[in-house]
Amino acid sequence: MLLIPAIDLKEGQCVRLKQGLMEQATVFSDRPADMGLHWLKQGARRLHLVDLDGAFAGKPKNLEAISGILAAVAKEIPVQLGGGIRDLATIEKYLELGLSDVIIGTAAVKNPAFVREACKQFPGHIIVGLDAKEGMVAIDGWATVTEHHVIDLSKRFEDDGVNSIIYTDIGRDGMMSGVNIEATVKLAEAVNIPIIASGGLTDLDDIRALCAVEDSGVAGAITGRAIYEGSIDFAQAQQLADSLSAR
Protein backbone atom coordinates (compact mmCIF):
# COMPACT_ATOMS: atom_id res chain seq x y z
CA MET A 1 0.00 0.00 0.00
CA LEU A 2 1.67 3.14 -1.27
CA LEU A 3 0.92 6.44 0.47
CA ILE A 4 1.33 9.43 -1.83
CA PRO A 5 1.68 12.97 -0.44
CA ALA A 6 -0.31 15.54 -2.38
CA ILE A 7 0.95 18.99 -3.28
CA ASP A 8 -1.90 21.13 -4.57
CA LEU A 9 -0.75 24.27 -6.35
CA LYS A 10 -2.66 27.55 -6.53
CA GLU A 11 -0.96 30.72 -7.75
CA GLY A 12 2.44 29.14 -7.09
CA GLN A 13 1.65 28.21 -3.48
CA CYS A 14 0.97 24.86 -1.81
CA VAL A 15 -2.64 24.79 -0.63
CA ARG A 16 -5.41 22.42 0.39
CA LEU A 17 -9.05 22.84 -0.53
CA LYS A 18 -12.22 21.67 1.17
CA GLN A 19 -14.47 19.74 -1.23
CA GLY A 20 -12.68 21.28 -4.22
CA LEU A 21 -13.77 24.85 -3.48
CA MET A 22 -11.09 27.36 -4.54
CA GLU A 23 -12.42 29.90 -2.05
CA GLN A 24 -11.81 27.33 0.71
CA ALA A 25 -8.05 27.22 0.15
CA THR A 26 -5.61 27.00 3.06
CA VAL A 27 -2.01 27.94 2.20
CA PHE A 28 0.56 25.56 3.68
CA SER A 29 3.72 26.77 1.96
CA ASP A 30 4.94 29.27 -0.60
CA ARG A 31 7.99 27.12 -1.41
CA PRO A 32 6.74 24.15 -3.48
CA ALA A 33 10.20 22.70 -4.19
CA ASP A 34 11.02 22.63 -0.47
CA MET A 35 7.71 20.88 0.18
CA GLY A 36 8.62 18.23 -2.37
CA LEU A 37 11.97 17.69 -0.67
CA HIS A 38 10.28 17.50 2.71
CA TRP A 39 8.09 14.56 1.68
CA LEU A 40 11.02 12.86 -0.02
CA LYS A 41 12.95 13.04 3.25
CA GLN A 42 9.91 11.67 5.10
CA GLY A 43 10.07 8.53 2.97
CA ALA A 44 7.65 9.29 0.15
CA ARG A 45 8.11 6.98 -2.81
CA ARG A 46 5.89 9.01 -5.16
CA LEU A 47 4.42 12.53 -5.22
CA HIS A 48 1.01 13.68 -6.42
CA LEU A 49 0.78 17.22 -7.81
CA VAL A 50 -2.37 19.11 -8.77
CA ASP A 51 -2.40 22.29 -10.81
CA LEU A 52 -5.62 23.71 -9.34
CA ASP A 53 -5.57 26.83 -11.49
CA GLY A 54 -4.95 24.64 -14.51
CA ALA A 55 -7.95 22.45 -13.66
CA PHE A 56 -10.21 25.47 -13.93
CA ALA A 57 -8.41 27.14 -16.86
CA GLY A 58 -8.01 23.97 -18.93
CA LYS A 59 -4.29 24.56 -19.46
CA PRO A 60 -1.10 24.57 -17.34
CA LYS A 61 -0.94 27.48 -14.90
CA ASN A 62 1.76 26.59 -12.33
CA LEU A 63 4.68 25.57 -14.54
CA GLU A 64 7.30 27.42 -12.48
CA ALA A 65 6.28 25.68 -9.25
CA ILE A 66 5.96 22.31 -10.99
CA SER A 67 9.38 22.66 -12.62
CA GLY A 68 10.90 23.52 -9.24
CA ILE A 69 9.46 20.42 -7.59
CA LEU A 70 10.63 18.21 -10.45
CA ALA A 71 14.13 19.66 -10.32
CA ALA A 72 14.24 18.89 -6.61
CA VAL A 73 12.89 15.33 -6.51
CA ALA A 74 12.19 13.77 -9.93
CA LYS A 75 15.57 12.02 -10.10
CA GLU A 76 14.76 10.28 -6.81
CA ILE A 77 11.06 9.37 -7.04
CA PRO A 78 8.30 9.42 -9.67
CA VAL A 79 5.98 12.42 -9.74
CA GLN A 80 2.45 12.44 -11.15
CA LEU A 81 0.37 15.50 -11.97
CA GLY A 82 -3.18 16.40 -12.87
CA GLY A 83 -5.04 19.59 -13.64
CA GLY A 84 -5.56 21.24 -17.00
CA ILE A 85 -4.28 18.39 -19.18
CA ARG A 86 -6.44 18.58 -22.26
CA ASP A 87 -4.17 17.78 -25.22
CA LEU A 88 -1.24 15.61 -26.32
CA ALA A 89 1.15 18.56 -26.57
CA THR A 90 0.67 19.32 -22.86
CA ILE A 91 1.37 15.69 -21.96
CA GLU A 92 4.55 15.70 -24.04
CA LYS A 93 5.72 18.94 -22.43
CA TYR A 94 5.16 17.62 -18.91
CA LEU A 95 6.93 14.31 -19.59
CA GLU A 96 9.88 16.20 -21.05
CA LEU A 97 10.03 18.26 -17.84
CA GLY A 98 10.49 15.03 -15.88
CA LEU A 99 7.01 13.97 -14.81
CA SER A 100 6.56 10.23 -14.58
CA ASP A 101 2.80 10.19 -15.13
CA VAL A 102 0.09 12.62 -16.16
CA ILE A 103 -3.45 12.41 -14.83
CA ILE A 104 -6.30 13.01 -17.24
CA GLY A 105 -9.52 13.98 -15.50
CA THR A 106 -12.08 16.24 -17.11
CA ALA A 107 -10.82 15.50 -20.63
CA ALA A 108 -11.21 11.76 -20.00
CA VAL A 109 -14.90 12.26 -19.31
CA LYS A 110 -15.60 14.74 -22.08
CA ASN A 111 -13.48 12.99 -24.70
CA PRO A 112 -12.68 9.32 -23.89
CA ALA A 113 -10.92 8.92 -27.25
CA PHE A 114 -8.28 11.35 -25.96
CA VAL A 115 -7.30 8.85 -23.26
CA ARG A 116 -7.00 6.09 -25.85
CA GLU A 117 -4.76 8.23 -28.06
CA ALA A 118 -2.65 9.41 -25.11
CA CYS A 119 -2.04 5.81 -24.03
CA LYS A 120 -0.93 4.95 -27.56
CA GLN A 121 1.47 7.88 -27.84
CA PHE A 122 2.77 7.80 -24.26
CA PRO A 123 2.38 4.19 -23.09
CA GLY A 124 2.91 3.63 -19.40
CA HIS A 125 2.53 7.29 -18.48
CA ILE A 126 -1.24 7.85 -18.34
CA ILE A 127 -3.45 7.80 -15.24
CA VAL A 128 -7.15 8.62 -15.28
CA GLY A 129 -8.53 10.66 -12.40
CA LEU A 130 -12.22 10.22 -11.68
CA ASP A 131 -13.80 12.43 -9.03
CA ALA A 132 -17.25 11.47 -7.86
CA LYS A 133 -20.05 12.69 -5.63
CA GLU A 134 -22.35 9.90 -4.49
CA GLY A 135 -20.96 7.75 -7.31
CA MET A 136 -21.53 10.29 -10.08
CA VAL A 137 -18.47 11.72 -11.84
CA ALA A 138 -17.70 15.44 -11.53
CA ILE A 139 -15.64 17.50 -13.97
CA ASP A 140 -14.25 21.01 -14.54
CA GLY A 141 -12.54 21.23 -11.16
CA TRP A 142 -15.60 19.56 -9.57
CA ALA A 143 -17.82 22.42 -10.71
CA THR A 144 -20.11 20.12 -12.73
CA VAL A 145 -21.58 16.77 -11.68
CA THR A 146 -22.30 14.59 -14.72
CA GLU A 147 -24.73 11.71 -15.30
CA HIS A 148 -21.84 9.22 -15.65
CA HIS A 149 -21.38 6.63 -12.93
CA VAL A 150 -17.75 6.17 -11.87
CA ILE A 151 -17.80 2.39 -12.39
CA ASP A 152 -19.20 2.65 -15.91
CA LEU A 153 -16.52 5.15 -16.92
CA SER A 154 -13.74 3.15 -15.29
CA LYS A 155 -14.66 0.06 -17.28
CA ARG A 156 -14.40 2.12 -20.45
CA PHE A 157 -10.72 2.88 -19.71
CA GLU A 158 -9.71 -0.67 -18.80
CA ASP A 159 -8.59 -1.63 -22.29
CA ASP A 160 -6.94 1.69 -23.14
CA GLY A 161 -3.76 0.94 -21.20
CA VAL A 162 -4.01 3.43 -18.33
CA ASN A 163 -1.68 2.76 -15.41
CA SER A 164 -4.31 3.24 -12.74
CA ILE A 165 -7.39 5.17 -11.75
CA ILE A 166 -7.37 7.75 -9.00
CA TYR A 167 -10.76 7.76 -7.34
CA THR A 168 -11.63 10.83 -5.32
CA ASP A 169 -14.75 11.04 -3.20
CA ILE A 170 -15.53 14.76 -3.40
CA GLY A 171 -17.72 14.62 -0.32
CA ARG A 172 -14.75 13.44 1.75
CA ASP A 173 -11.92 15.47 0.21
CA GLY A 174 -10.29 17.87 2.64
CA MET A 175 -12.96 17.16 5.24
CA MET A 176 -10.91 14.79 7.45
CA SER A 177 -13.92 12.48 7.61
CA GLY A 178 -12.31 9.17 6.68
CA VAL A 179 -11.86 7.34 3.39
CA ASN A 180 -14.97 6.00 1.66
CA ILE A 181 -13.73 2.41 1.85
CA GLU A 182 -16.97 0.84 0.64
CA ALA A 183 -17.17 2.88 -2.59
CA THR A 184 -13.44 2.50 -3.27
CA VAL A 185 -13.56 -1.28 -2.88
CA LYS A 186 -16.69 -1.49 -5.03
CA LEU A 187 -14.85 0.30 -7.83
CA ALA A 188 -11.65 -1.74 -7.39
CA GLU A 189 -13.57 -5.00 -7.62
CA ALA A 190 -15.41 -3.85 -10.76
CA VAL A 191 -12.28 -3.23 -12.85
CA ASN A 192 -8.88 -4.79 -13.46
CA ILE A 193 -6.82 -1.60 -13.10
CA PRO A 194 -5.20 -0.59 -9.79
CA ILE A 195 -7.26 1.98 -7.88
CA ILE A 196 -5.64 4.77 -5.89
CA ALA A 197 -7.90 6.13 -3.17
CA SER A 198 -8.16 9.86 -2.60
CA GLY A 199 -10.19 12.04 -0.30
CA GLY A 200 -10.80 11.90 3.44
CA LEU A 201 -7.68 10.12 4.73
CA THR A 202 -7.60 11.17 8.38
CA ASP A 203 -5.66 8.87 10.71
CA LEU A 204 -3.87 5.57 11.06
CA ASP A 205 -7.19 3.71 11.29
CA ASP A 206 -7.78 4.73 7.66
CA ILE A 207 -4.39 3.25 6.78
CA ARG A 208 -5.33 -0.01 8.49
CA ALA A 209 -8.71 -0.07 6.72
CA LEU A 210 -7.08 0.50 3.32
CA CYS A 211 -4.47 -2.19 3.88
CA ALA A 212 -7.25 -4.61 4.83
CA VAL A 213 -8.79 -4.21 1.36
CA GLU A 214 -5.55 -4.09 -0.61
CA ASP A 215 -6.30 -7.46 -2.20
CA SER A 216 -9.41 -6.00 -3.84
CA GLY A 217 -7.19 -3.86 -6.07
CA VAL A 218 -6.69 -0.74 -3.95
CA ALA A 219 -2.99 -0.10 -4.59
CA GLY A 220 -2.41 3.20 -2.82
CA ALA A 221 -3.83 6.32 -1.27
CA ILE A 222 -3.22 10.02 -1.74
CA THR A 223 -2.99 12.05 1.43
CA GLY A 224 -3.12 15.81 1.81
CA ARG A 225 -4.68 17.78 4.65
CA ALA A 226 -4.00 15.05 7.23
CA ILE A 227 -0.21 15.17 6.75
CA TYR A 228 -0.17 18.97 6.63
CA GLU A 229 -2.26 19.45 9.75
CA GLY A 230 -0.55 16.64 11.65
CA SER A 231 -3.32 14.10 12.22
CA ILE A 232 -1.09 11.66 10.33
CA ASP A 233 2.69 11.43 10.60
CA PHE A 234 3.58 10.47 7.04
CA ALA A 235 6.71 8.46 7.82
CA GLN A 236 4.90 6.53 10.55
CA ALA A 237 1.90 5.91 8.29
CA GLN A 238 3.99 4.53 5.42
CA GLN A 239 5.89 2.28 7.83
CA LEU A 240 2.58 0.98 9.17
CA ALA A 241 1.29 0.38 5.65
CA ASP A 242 4.47 -1.48 4.73
CA SER A 243 4.24 -3.70 7.79
CA LEU A 244 0.57 -4.54 7.16
CA SER A 245 1.10 -5.14 3.44
CA ALA A 246 3.97 -7.52 4.20
CA ARG A 247 1.74 -9.85 6.18
Q: Is residue 131 flagged as an active site residue?
A: yes
Angle of helix 181-190 relative to helix 150-157, nearest 10 degrees, comes to 40
For residue 243, what is the DSSP state?
Answer: H
Catalytic residue among 51, 101, 131, 206: 131
Question: How many helical (H) and strand (E) elements, i.e. helices and strands, does the chain have?
Answer: 11, 12
Strand, coil or helix: what is 4?
A: strand
Alpha helix (H) residue ranges in the chain: 32-41, 52-57, 63-73, 88-97, 106-110, 112-121, 150-157, 181-190, 204-212, 225-229, 234-245
Distance CA 101, CA 48 (A): 10
Q: Which of 25, 92, 12 is nearest to 54 (CA)?
A: 12
DSSP letter for 213, please. Answer: T
Enzyme catalytic residues: 8, 131
